[in-house]
Amino acid sequence: MPTKKGKSPIRGPAAPSDYSRRQGGAALGARLRRLSERIDREATQIYAQRGVVFEQRWMGALNLLNRHGPLSVNELATALGISHPSVSQTRSSLRAARLLVERADPDDGRRRTLHLTPKGKAQIETLQPIWDALAHAAEALNAEAGNVVVALTRLEKALDRQSLFDRANERLAEDT
């Protein structure tokens, strides 16, 4: 991880300037994590600059609840394309922030749905101009980078056709 001056904390003649970048496709996961962390960190700076206490990981869940009304954790996980445990963690932090509540579904008492609180709805009104600015910035970055979103879609489809797990196991089987 680079220091504040952008220099690697690893010293000596073999110190890598950017190990993950030099690894090419072999470091795909590391590069995606690094980009995700950077985007989240910079978005968090925008919220803080505006005096808004907000975690970027809440954005998708709050936006979906605002657009579609009450949803279950499973519905959110499916819509966001992330794991149920990840959405459960987000739900817990949103409840702690008093931006949503959980209620029994009136049609099926076994099912629990998430609802925005009045504080959550007010927070979304405050956040909407920030979300619009972030979306505009993301679209500009995507265009400048040559439509990375299309490449990410191709990557997702490639993983759907054959997982990294299966690809690695094929290679391991060849070596035995």
CB 74 within 8 A of CB 84: yes
- Which pTM does this prediction carry? 0.77
Cβ atoms < 10 Å from Cβ of 23: 13
**Tens digits of per-residue pLDDT, 87-111?**
999 999 999 999 999 998 888 878 8
Domains of the chain: 39-163 (1.10.10.10)
Spatial distance between the Cα atoms of 64 and 60, rounded to a whole number of angstroms:
6
**Tens digits of per-residue pLDDT, 121-151?**
999 999 999 999 999 999 999 999 999 999 9
pLDDT above 90 (res 120) = yes
pLDDT above 70 (res 6) = no
Q: H or E stretch including 157?
A: helix 148-161
